[in-house]
Chains A and B, each alone.
Chain A
Amino acid sequence: MSSATKINWFRFASPPAFYPLAGQLWTLFTVLAVGFAAVGLWISFFVAPTDAQQGEGYRIIFIHVPAAWMAMFLYVVMAFWSAVGLVFNVRLASMLASAIAPTGALFALLALWTGALWGKPMWGAWWVWDARLTSTLILFFLYLGFLALQAAIDDPRRADRAGAVIALVGVVNVPIIYFSVKWWNTLHQGASVSVTRSPSMASLMLWGMLLMVMACWMYAAAAAMSRVRSIILERERHADWVKDAVAQSR
């Protein structure tokens, strides 16, 4: 590849360059989210067969597992951009971390909520102080801590640094959640979809779940792109390029 055809990716670390790109990415992720959700929901409700043990109640996993995965994944992504922002002093990286946090918190809450609605009929309890559940609750509180801390500090760069500390300290909780079902004798089952059962059945359930994961992932990406655009406008509101961008979008 010649240097003339190479894209200078670092160019997009600058808010004026990233702002229009984020707009295009928002469109792409929104279209993908709607497409994956349409197929994923179709499989979840009309193609995937009834579970032999859990009846129709098992269909909660089609939203519970994607929400739980996203809650963990988005935290890692948030911590990554926080670290980039902190170490290399890149403002846009910190803005991305802030843009991801509310969506991550939402998915953590949904993982807990749908888990409770699964637990009541299957375990007979909305909540147990089990390692998996407790560490997911801590994940939700870490998101809330990040958001509350950033909201409490007026200077954006100080808020970025303070948030990055919470994000980086809290990231150790993610492998704890992931391995909690192995490390402790928990009530929460290990794998949601058994591959030892009838193979075609398991694969249909797995496909439904993976498509729902893709839908949630693309939704989260679209939400983060939309939010980071607002954050850029809010923080760069005095810059000349913002005036031009705003004039164009009207």
Chain B
Amino acid sequence: MQWHSLGEFFAMGGYAVYVWGSFGATLVALLAEVVLLRARRRKALRVAAMPQDLMP
């Protein structure tokens, strides 16, 4: 373990913007995709449950 404090961990030896900018963007992007996937599934299920003549 190379961190002696939480502050040191977040500072990333002066590379905080770059390291957290990379991992943060990845987290946000993957979470956004998961939200979109869930929304698409819910919509697909809703449409599939409709009576045939009302389907788009």
How many chain B residues touch A (Cβ–Cβ < 8 Å)?
31
Q: Which of A55, A117, A233 contacts B22 (CB 8 A)?
A: A117
For the complex, give the distance between the alpha carbons of A186 and B26 in Å.
26
- The closest CB in chain B to the CB of A64 belongs to B22
- The answer to whether B2 and A102 have CB atoms under 8 Å apart is no
Given A63-B22, A238-B55, A121 and B2 touching (CB < 8 A)?
Answer: no
B26 / chain A contacts, CB cutoff of 8 Å: 63, 67, 110, 114
Q: A residues bordering B, Cβ < 8 Å?
A: 45-47, 49-50, 55-57, 59-60, 63-64, 67, 102-103, 106, 109-110, 113-114, 117-118, 120-121, 219, 223, 226-227, 229-230, 233-234, 237-238, 242-243, 245-247, 249-250
Q: B residues bordering A, Cβ < 8 Å?
A: 1-3, 9, 12-15, 17-19, 21-23, 25-26, 29-30, 33-34, 37, 40-41, 43-45, 47-49, 52, 55
Chain B: interface secondary structure? helix
- The answer to whether A50 and B13 have CB atoms under 8 Å apart is yes
Q: Min CB distance, B32 to chain A, in Å?
A: 9
Given A55-B13, A114-B25, A121-B15, A103 and B48 touching (CB < 8 A)?
Answer: no
- The closest CB in chain A to the CB of B2 belongs to A50
Given A46-B1, A230-B37, A230-B44, A56 and B13 touching (CB < 8 A)?
Answer: yes
- The answer to whether A46 and B3 have CB atoms under 8 Å apart is yes
Closest CB pairs A-B (n = 7): A56-B13, A57-B15, A233-B44, A114-B22, A56-B12, A230-B44, A117-B18
Most buried by B among A47, A59, A120: A59
